Every structure is written in C-alpha cells, then in structure tokens.
A and B are shown apart, each in its own frame.
Chain A
Amino acid sequence: MSARGTGAPRGAAKLLAVHWPLVLLLSAVAGMGFMMLYSVAGGSLDPWARAQMIRFALGLCVMLVIAMIDIRFWKLVSPLAYLGSFALLLYVEAAGHVGMGAQRWINLGFIVLQPSEMMKISLVMVLAAYYARLDPGKVSRPLWMVPPLALILAPVALVMTQPDLGTSIMLLAGGAAVMFLAGVSIWYFATAAAAAAGLVTLVLRSRGTDWQLLRDYQFNRIDTFLDPGRDPLGTGYHITQAKIALGSGGLAGRGFMQGTQSRLNFLPEKHTDFIFTTLAEEFGFLGTLALLILFTLVILFCVQSAIANRDRFGALLTGGIGATFFLFFAVNMAMVMGLMPVVGVPLPLVSYGGSAMLVLLAAFGLAQSAHVHRPRERG
C-alpha cells in the first residue's frame, strides 16, 4: 500500500492537521504544574517554575517538529532509537559503577538526559514497529513472542540493577500494553499475571535469605507502604505527610500558596514526585479531580486517535504512548495516595524535571505525527 495516496496533508497544512485540542490539554496540565512550582517556591518563579516553563516551551517545539516529520520515518528509525537508548542505558550503568553511586543521567549541558526515560518511549516505538511488520495472524505464536519479550526484558534487567523499581514497572507495563494492543492472546497475559503473583511471593519470601531479590531499602518501602505508621519519622514519613497534605486540602483546598504542609517543608520532594500533594492541599478535591479529568482526556484522545488510525504502526504507537502516559500519572498518584509503594515516578508534565517532560512531549510529537500522517479515506 502506498501512503502517498492516502491524502495526508502537506506543507503548512500539516500544522493545521495537528490535534490542537491535545496541545491545549497538555498546556493546561503543564500550566497547573507551573502554578504549583511557583507556590512551593514560596511564591517565586525561581528556582523551579521559570526553568520548567522554558523547558515546556522547548518541548512544545520539539513536539511540533516531530509531528511534522512523516510517521514512516519514525517507523524506520524506531529500531535505531531503541538501540541508542539501550546503549545510553548501558553507558550510565557502567559509569554508575565507575562513578559515585547510582548516577542515572547524562548531562548534556543544556539538559540532563535520563536514558531510562528515553527507553520508555523507544520501547513503545520498537514494539509498534515490530507488530506493524508482523503478520497479525502470527502475533500469538510462541516463536514470534520471543523478540518482543527480549526487547522488553533487556532494558528492564538493566534498569532493575540500577536499581529503579518504578521505571522497571513502567517498562514492563508499557511493553505489555503494546503487545496487548497488537492482539497477543489474552492467555499470555493471564499466565504472566499468575507468574507475576508467584514472583511477588517469591521476592517477599526471599527476604532475609542469601538469595534476597530486592535491596533492603526496597523491602523497607514495601513495609512502609503496608503500614506507614510503623516508622512515622523514617521511611513512612513521606507517605504519612503526603496523606496529611492530601486530606487537609478538603473539598476546595486551603487556597493558592496557603498549603502549610508544603510551605513549612513537611512534605519531602514537594516539587518533584510529591507535587500532587501540594495541588491537593491548596486546591482540594476539586483541584485534583480537575487534573485527573485532564489526564483522562489525554488518554481518551490517544485511544480515539489509535482507533481511528488505519495505519497499524501509528495506531499501536499512539495507543502505547497513551498507555505510558497513563502509567506515569496512575503510578504517581497511587503512590502519593498510599495505594502503592513509593517507587519514584514523576507526575507527568507537572513534576519539576527536564528529562521526563522532554521525552513525554517528544512522545506526544510521535502521536501527533501518527495523527497528522494517518491514512485518510478517499472520497
């Protein structure tokens, strides 16, 4: 099939074909982030809000540039993107061993790149490309299951050793989402779920033995998650204080810049992973619900666009990106609200941080590209 004949817009018309409501949606989410960063800095653009705005503007440009480039190009470079990300992961892993502690980023001067963030998108890309090429009738054949599983597990294994539980989970779940969208038999997922349950049991059992499968601090986080009151000033402090901030917000919140938990520094990581709590404290249930609705609209767009897209790569990519975005906010919110252990996942587009924001906006650029260059019915 020839894409040339699909009637995709050309030139400046492409800009009009961009899904602008999504851009608006993302800007609204980022706007809430700017507000919160301004508030946690005590009513100041510095040190966080200004830098975040600049990054967002830059990210929007990157998104639009990516959106303008033909989706087939992205399909073509998907394996390269994956290999590049993997190489960088290997590099920081090696450098981390050489240098001090767990360094998970590369400083490019103007921006700090986290290869694990790039991998989240590259993995979706490479899997989408793989399944776009694969005969749909073969997706559930065991042999054809091997490459995607290898593509997923290789970076997961690397990230696990960093160790970064949050990213591992995200990679696993993101990869699984693409496989699910591609039509891999439900039974595989059922089996994997059963195996995961078995693995969790095994991991918990391994505690205190010679073959302990997680680090002590990771076990502590699990303990603390199960019972935050156990150690209110130690590991449980984050969760306890986060819940207090959330709950004290009430229906309408204490008001902009009035959050005592964040202003008085009771909240750790108040500008990064736990920024949601400041929002909750200052804008209450109405504020958090608004953000949740914005997030939900973003995934709804992705699903709608994926369903509408007859190009299999574009559809899988858009669906996978939507799933990754969903994982970001769902894991972050669940963790902050005490529904799952603290694993260190930022709130997408809201938490302070360049790497995640740029990578996410680039990913939406890919989704936009798929949207702009989708095959169109001819009259």
Chain B
Amino acid sequence: MSAAPPPRITRRALMLLGVQLGVVGVLGWRMRDLQVRQHEHYAMLADENRINLRLIPPARGTITDRAGVPLAINRRNYRVSLVREQAGDPPAILDRLGRIIPIDAETRERALREIATHSAFVPVVIAEHLTWEDVARISANAPVLPGVVAEVGLSRSYPLGRDTGHVVGYVGPVSESDLAKIEDPDPVLRIPRFQIGKTGVEQRMEDTLRGEAGTLRIEVSAAGRVMRELGRAEGTPGQDVALTLDEGLQSYAMRRMEGESAAAAVIDVTNGDIVALASAPGFDPNSFVFGIGVAEWNSLLEDEYRPLAAKTVAGAYPPGSTFKPVVALAALAAGTIAPGDRVHCAGFTQLGNRRFHCWKHGGHGSVDLRKSLSQSCDCYYYEVARRTGADAIAAMARRLGLGYRHDLPLPAVTAGLMPDRAWKAETRKESWTVGDSFNYGIGQGYTLASPLQLAVMAARVATGTEVAPRLVRAIGGVDLPFEPPKSLGLDPRHLEAVRNGMFAVSNEGTAYRSRIADPAMLMAGKTGTSQVRVITAAERARGVTKNEQLPWNRRDHALFIAFAPYDKPRYAIAQIVEHGGGGSAVAAPIARDILLYALCGGEPPLEAYPPEQRKSIGEQRARMPAAEAAPPAAGTRDRA
C-alpha cells in the first residue's frame, strides 16, 4: 500500500468522451437534416420508387355503315400465359398444354426463352387468338396446369372482310416508324402490342377512334411485382364512327366487279354521301391484324390487279370521253358554242401535218351537242376545245369537282390533274398547243381523274349544285352537321342541254344496251374509253390493233359515269374497269347494275332491265358469287 495509486484516466476519458459526443452530435445533426429538413424530397422519391402508373388501353371505337352494320369491331381475343413462379417446371407444363392446344416448336422455344429472361411473376404469352372452346378446355384442365392463365383481350375484326378493306383499312401494332412520325406521341402508344390504324379510315380517324387511356396507380416492389392497386382512373373509349357507306351496296359492287381490276364510286347526289366506294380486287384486312404471312403479303404485292390499291380515290386515270360533259359545259359557259350549233365530223380533224381521229372511222357527219354526247363524237370536242381553250376547261373542271383533292378521311386521295396553260409552262417548260387542247377535249393527254372525282362531277352535273363527297355520317352517335350544297351558278339551260345529251347516251346512244328500262329510274350517263398507249400513224394505217389482241395491261380503260333517275337525280356513279376495253361494252353494264341496286335498295326486279336482257341478267346473277353469309370465324390461330 505504499506505492502511489496509479494515475486515474479521468482526463483522457473525458477527452475521448468529448470526441465521441462530438461525433454523436454530427450524427444527430445529419439525421435531422435528412429526416426533417429534406423530408419532402425523400418522401417524394420514396413514392416514385413504389408507385407506378400503368395505362389502361381504351376500347377502340367501332366503325359501321350508314345503317349501323358493323364494319370494324372489337372482338374478344383469348390468350394463355404462363407464370413461372406458379408453374414450377415450365417445360413440363408446356408439354401438357401442347396436348390441349397446338404449340409449335418455335413458339415453345420463344416462350421458354422469355420465361427464362423475365422475372418469375411476369406472365409470358404462350398462345393468342384462341377460341372459346380452347380456353374452356384449358380451364377444365387447370389443376394439372399450374401457372397457366387464360386472359381475354380485345382485337380488331372486320366482319365484311375484303368488301370494305380499302375504306375501313386495318390496325396493327405501333411500330418505331409510326412513333417517329408523331410529335409528342400519346403514352398509350407505348403499351406493348397497342394497335393503331395503319390505313384507311382506321388510320385517318385514329384520334377519334382511339379514345383516352385510363390510368392505374399500383404499388410495386423493388423487383417490379405488383403489390396492390392504389387507384384507378377509367379512360374514355374511342368514339364510334358511322360511315356513309351502304353495306349492301358496297358488297354488291364488290361482287359485281369480281374478277376485274375495277373501281366504282356511288354518291347520293342530294347530300354527297358516298354510299359505295368499291375497289376490286379487295384484300382482307383481318389478315393484317395479327401480322400477315409472307406468302400472302407477296401474293398481294405481285398481283397485277393491285388488290392493295384503293383505286376509287387513289387511282388517277385519263377520264376519256366521260370528260366531254365538262368540256361541253365549259364551252357553253364561255359562249364558244350553243347547244344547236353544228360541227362537221369527217372521221378526223387535220391539225398541221397531224391527224386527230374520231373513234368512228368515216365520221359522224353533222353533229350538235346532243349528238356529240350520245355518239361521243371526238371531232366535235376537238373543235369545241380549240375554241374554248385550256384555261376555261380547267376552270370548269374544278367547279365540277375535278383536279383537286377532296377532303376524305382516307390516305392517298389523289388530286388528279386538270392541266392549264400555266401548269404546262411551269412543269413542262413548254407552251400550250392546239393539239393539247384537242386531247383535253376528249379527256386524254395530261388529264387525270379518280373514279371518286368523276362521280362527284356526275353528281354536280345532275344537280347543278356543289355536291361535296363525304364518307363520315356520324361520330359518337351524333350526326355530323350537313349543309345543303350551294348552287354552282351555272346557266340551267346549259346544264339541261348537257343532261339531255347524257340521257341520249343511255337511252339512244353509245350506252343504249346498258339502259334502265323502268321509266321511274331512267338513267343518264356518259361512256369513256381511255387509251393507255399511243396509236401511231403506222398502226392506224394497217388498222388499229383490237384490244383483245393486246396484252392486258396495254388495253384501254373502260369508263362510265351516270346518274339516275334522270328527272329526279338520286345517285351518281363513276365506274372504271382497268384495261377492260370499251366503256360502253364493259363499264356501263356494271355501273347500270350497281346504280339499279342503289335505287332499288337491294337486288332490282328483272323488270327494271330492258326486256331482251332479262334472261341473260338472270343467268349473270346466278353466276355471281353469293353474298358473304357469315363473318369470318372468331378464332384464327396465332400466326406470329
């Protein structure tokens, strides 16, 4: 006890404590900083972590004809998915599933690959577009198929198939190029496999049909598993669109043109409603919805009848003699000819060292306006066009609905071409010649028009009003506002003279064989045969080659325009048969049948036909393909 007690560690212990308390102070300060001062910032980050917004795709609006017959609808689409964490042994489950529904090796491989790369709780789609029977059988076997879930989605279906393919169009999955085209794309487009309109009304009225996506607020775990639903805001379904088309007439027109490369446009002249817009051959839009097969796609592309082209609005053809009423009205308005004035037709008109021939070898002799139309005399129109001039003809053409693009919700609506002096000077760097006027007079040369434009022209001639074509009748069940068309401001006597000439065409002249016999539905029309090749002087010397001897794609186009009934016009039609030969022989009979169908609201009675034709018409009806009975079956299998 003698040794001094060892020094206490008090001083050092307190110093150490001081350091420790200092650190504790820093920790406390940091806690306060994070938890109190920056709380809101981090609370927001935490919510961002856990809350996901998912979009609920809106139901797409349907498309119907004018009477509500469905043209594009949403059909239930059954599919089965596999969830790995419930399946346990995916290959074994797939084997069992394969005994119930066909699963090819490729699908199986893809599915197994996707299952391996996704999280265990993510459903991987195994098969799509199953029938209800398939789903029922899978459900019945559910106990031995753990992890297999059947889901129902909506997919687009076109009950009328190829009859309305060109007009209605089709939908397909959003592609990268689609997204690139849209500025500020709707986030709904990012939903995998979301479908948008690719062509036709489906494409051009996309915004109306699509609707607004709903949102689903869900809480997710760090791995992305959905824990619970926090809230749901229902979207707005797309609006239904009712077209002006008449389903019966449209289908009839398609059947009547079966086997041809042809197009017909029928307009209700009282309001501009397009009741038929048929382009043959058609294509089945249902093929495109689930991805078209390569073989089918190639056969569509390689078909020289061009099934994918909407010839009614996108096809620009020389109107040929169907253009003559326009030239006549231009001349009458310009005063360069009166209805009674006569022009001599010798079978050709000499211009310098060039001869412009009339279609009738030997000529029509003395021709007035009525005869010029009914006999479709070319020399008369060479002379009239020379007197009237290109600019006046072009101006009249535009008043009658030619040479500009009509506002329709369809892609690739052509403007056609109604040339004038300025146009030629600008695009060809040449001045207008008298020869150009000659060609203009018979709707050849540079002149181009679509069947739709020609139908509008016929409608305007028939009514003397600015009939504007329209394809959409109602959106969301509400009829679109309709204004009666204004008068064109043409002299009624001029219109009457031209209509009278067109009456003569159908009831005395070139289209006499294709007349309507029923006096209540008499038709007025104009034939046209437009050349797609130049007939050389040498060929003319040895005799013009007959159409039948030419290869198909060098034959003349057959055209016909008409309206009926003559005394109280209701419908106007423009008909083209590509490389069909003569307008009177090929186009007029088809147009007459379609027009009669429109007027009668269905298959016309045989009494409406000329007596001598009734027997052959009856036979022709028997040969025609029957109207498609039922829409295509619901479940066509996945063609991936």
Q: Which of B1, B7, B27, B41 contacts A247 (CB 8 A)?
A: B41
Contact residues in A for B36 (Cβ distance below 8 Å)? 250-251, 285
Contact residues in A for B39 (Cβ distance below 8 Å)? 247-251
Asked if B24 is at the interface (CB within 8 A of a chain A CB), the reply is: yes
0 or 1 for each of B80-116: is its CB under 8 Å from A? (1 = yes): 0000000000000000000000000000000000000
Asked if B28 is at the interface (CB within 8 A of a chain A CB), the reply is: yes
A195 to B28, CA, bound (A): 29
0 or 1 for each of A238-261: is its CB under 8 Å from B? (1 = yes): 000101111111110000000011
Asked if A280 is at the interface (CB within 8 A of a chain B CB), the reply is: yes
User: How many A residues touch B, CB cutoff 8 Å?
Assistant: 48
Asked if B219 is at the interface (CB within 8 A of a chain A CB), the reply is: yes
- Chain A residues 303 to 344 lying within 8 A of chain B, measured CB to CB, are 303, 306-307, 310, 312, 315-316, 319, 323, 326, 330, 333-334, 337, 339
0 or 1 for each of A174-191: is its CB under 8 Å from B? (1 = yes): 000100111100000000
Contact residues in B for A1 (Cβ distance below 8 Å)? 1, 3
Asked if B223 is at the interface (CB within 8 A of a chain A CB), the reply is: yes
The answer to whether residues A181 and B16 also contact, given A244-B49, A247-B42 and a CB cut-off of 8 A, is: yes
A183 to B8, CA, bound (A): 10
Contact B20 A265 (CB under 8 A): no
Contact residues in B for A183 (Cβ distance below 8 Å)? 7, 9, 12
A329 to B222, CA, bound (A): 27
Contact B43 A248 (CB under 8 A): yes
- Chain B residues 34 to 72 lying within 8 A of chain A, measured CB to CB, are 34-36, 38-39, 41-43, 45-46, 49-50
A109 to B35, CA, bound (A): 41
Contact B35 A306 (CB under 8 A): no
Contact B222 A265 (CB under 8 A): yes
The answer to whether residues A337 and B16 also contact, given A248-B46, A250-B43 and a CB cut-off of 8 A, is: no
Contact residues in A for B50 (Cβ distance below 8 Å)? 260-261, 264, 266
0 or 1 for each of A289-307: is its CB under 8 Å from B? (1 = yes): 1001001100110010011
Q: Is the interface of A mostly helix, strand, loop or mixed?
A: helix
Asked if A198 is at the interface (CB within 8 A of a chain B CB), the reply is: no
Asked if A236 is at the interface (CB within 8 A of a chain B CB), the reply is: no
Residue from the set B6, B21, B36, B38 with the largest chain A CB neighbour count within 10 Å: B6
Asked if B640 is at the interface (CB within 8 A of a chain A CB), the reply is: no
Asked if A59 is at the interface (CB within 8 A of a chain B CB), the reply is: no
Asked if B227 is at the interface (CB within 8 A of a chain A CB), the reply is: yes
Contact residues in B for A312 (Cβ distance below 8 Å)? 6, 9
User: How many B residues touch A, CB cutoff 8 Å?
Assistant: 42
Contact residues in A for B31 (Cβ distance below 8 Å)? 246, 280, 285, 288-289, 292, 337
Task: Tell me the nearest residue of chain A to B10, going by C-beta.
Answer: A307
The answer to whether residues A266 and B26 also contact, given A247-B41, A251-B36 and a CB cut-off of 8 A, is: no
A181 to B24, CA, bound (A): 19
Q: Which of B10, B28, B34, B221 contacts A246 (CB 8 A)?
A: B34
A59 to B246, CA, bound (A): 89
Q: Which of A132, A244, A296, A326 contacts B46 (CB 8 A)?
A: A244
Contact residues in B for A243 (Cβ distance below 8 Å)? 34, 42
Contact residues in A for B17 (Cβ distance below 8 Å)? 299-300, 303
A303 to B7, CA, bound (A): 16
A266 to B220, CA, bound (A): 10
A316 to B12, CA, bound (A): 10
Contact B14 A303 (CB under 8 A): yes
Task: Tell me the nearest residue of chain B to A303, going by C-beta.
Answer: B17
Nearest-neighbour CB distance to chain A for B312, whole angstroms, equals 55
A241 to B50, CA, bound (A): 12
0 or 1 for each of A248-288: is its CB under 8 Å from B? (1 = yes): 11110000000011001110000000000000100011001
Contact residues in A for B24 (Cβ distance below 8 Å)? 292, 295-296, 330
The answer to whether residues A247 and B12 also contact, given A265-B221, A288-B31, A333-B27 and a CB cut-off of 8 A, is: no
B interface residues (Cβ-Cβ under 8 A, vs A): 1, 3, 5-10, 12-17, 20-21, 23-24, 26-28, 30-32, 34-36, 38-39, 41-43, 45-46, 49-50, 219-223, 227
Extra 12 A-B pairs, beta carbons < 8 Å, given A1-B3, A265-B222, A307-B8: A181-B13, A244-B46, A247-B34, A247-B35, A264-B220, A265-B223, A266-B50, A280-B34, A280-B35, A312-B9, A333-B27, A337-B34
Interchain Cβ contacts under 8 Å between A and B, 23 examples? A1-B3, A181-B9, A181-B12, A181-B16, A244-B46, A247-B35, A248-B46, A250-B39, A251-B35, A260-B46, A266-B221, A280-B34, A288-B31, A289-B28, A306-B13, A307-B9, A319-B16, A326-B23, A330-B23, A330-B27, A334-B27, A337-B34, A339-B27
A interface residues (Cβ-Cβ under 8 A, vs B): 1, 132, 136, 177, 180-183, 241, 243-251, 260-261, 264-266, 280, 284-285, 288-289, 292, 295-296, 299-300, 303, 306-307, 310, 312, 315-316, 319, 323, 326, 330, 333-334, 337, 339
Q: Which 8 A-B pairs have the closest CB atoms?
A: A247-B42, A248-B46, A285-B35, A265-B222, A250-B39, A264-B221, A248-B43, A266-B222
